[in-house]
């Protein structure tokens, strides 16, 4: 493989190996050799293993934001229970089918008890990031009279918690994906019945 083409393959290889063997359990030489280059070549592209990990995380985050369609105009795009459900199910299919998202969840789950950086990533992706996505959506729906008034942060937490649990279930037991999706759909329908105002 030409050395000039190695950066992206190295990031992918590192992501794949980190997600199966763990960060500490994966050596730089092993990552390089997995794409057919010698270990020292990796330092042409990355200063250190930590620098390579940062590239893995940055690339995964960018892919996640695109796939989850987490744009600033999201609160204006969701104006009904049907639109809320459509958005949630679309993004759920992305996060449960996307290879990068699946592997990053595995990596973060494995490493969160050994490394504070991974613990912070787990909190961000399993709680903060998702909650902060729905809080402005719910606040805007409340302002428009489409949703019952209340504490948008607590309501968002109530909304995302069962969904996050079901994603974790699917990661552990992929054979339960259909069952988990049905549970999530039922949860969304119950949430809409409780919190959204029908015209």
pLDDT category of residue 4 using cuts at 50, 70 and 90: low
Higher pLDDT, 90 or 68: 90
For 14-25, the pLDDT digits (tens) are: 999 999 999 999
For 115-157, the pLDDT digits (tens) are: 999 999 999 888 998 999 999 999 999 999 999 999 999 999 9
CB 30 within 8 A of CB 70: no
pLDDT category of residue 199 using cuts at 50, 70 and 90: low
Give me the pLDDT at residue 71, please: 79
Q: Of 14, 116, 132, 7, nearest to 72 (Cα)?
A: 132
Give me the pLDDT at residue 3, please: 45
Class level of CATH domain 1-59? mainly alpha
CB 61 within 8 A of CB 164: no
CB 81 within 8 A of CB 196: yes
- Distance from C-alpha of 39 to C-alpha of 82, rounded to nearest angstrom: 52
Question: Out of 3.90.1150.10, 3.90.550.10, 3.10.450.630, 1.10.357.10, which CATH number does the structure's domain 69-199 have?
Answer: 1.10.357.10
**Domain map (residue ranges) of the chain:** 1-59, 69-199
Give me the pLDDT at residue 128, please: 92
- Distance from C-alpha of 52 to C-alpha of 119, rounded to nearest angstrom: 18
Q: What percent of the chain has pLDDT over 90?
A: 83
Give me the pLDDT at residue 40, please: 85
For 45-78, the pLDDT digits (tens) are: 999 999 999 999 999 999 988 888 877 899 999 9
CB atoms near residue 196 (< 10 Å): 17
Q: Indicate the burial class of 79 (C-beta count within 10 angstroms; 0-12, 13-18, 19 or more).
A: middle
């Amino acid at each position: 493989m030409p050395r000039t083409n190695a950066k992206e393959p190295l990031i992918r290889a590192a992501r794949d190996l980190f997600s199966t063997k763990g960060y500490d359990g994966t050596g730089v030489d092993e990552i390089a050799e997995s794409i057919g280059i010698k270990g020292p070549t990796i330092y042409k592209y990355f200063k250190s293993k930590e620098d390579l990990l940062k590239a893995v995380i940055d690339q995964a985050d960018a892919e996640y934001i695109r796939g989850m369609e987490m744009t600033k105009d999201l609160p204006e795009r969701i104006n009904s229970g049907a639109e809320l459900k459509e958005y949630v199910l679309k993004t759920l299919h992305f996060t449960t089918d996307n290879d990068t998202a699946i592997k990053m969840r595995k990596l973060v789950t494995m490493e969160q008890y050994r490394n504070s950086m991974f613990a912070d990533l787990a909190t961000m992706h399993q709680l903060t990031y998702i909650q902060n996505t729905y809080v402005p959506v719910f606040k805007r729906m409340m302002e428009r009279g489409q949703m019952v008034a209340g504490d948008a942060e607590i309501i968002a937490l109530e909304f995302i918690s069962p969904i996050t649990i079901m994603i974790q279930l699917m990661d552990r037991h992929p054979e339960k994906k259909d069952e988990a999706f049905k549970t999530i759909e039922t949860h969304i329908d119950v949430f809409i019945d409780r919190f959204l105002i029908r015209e």
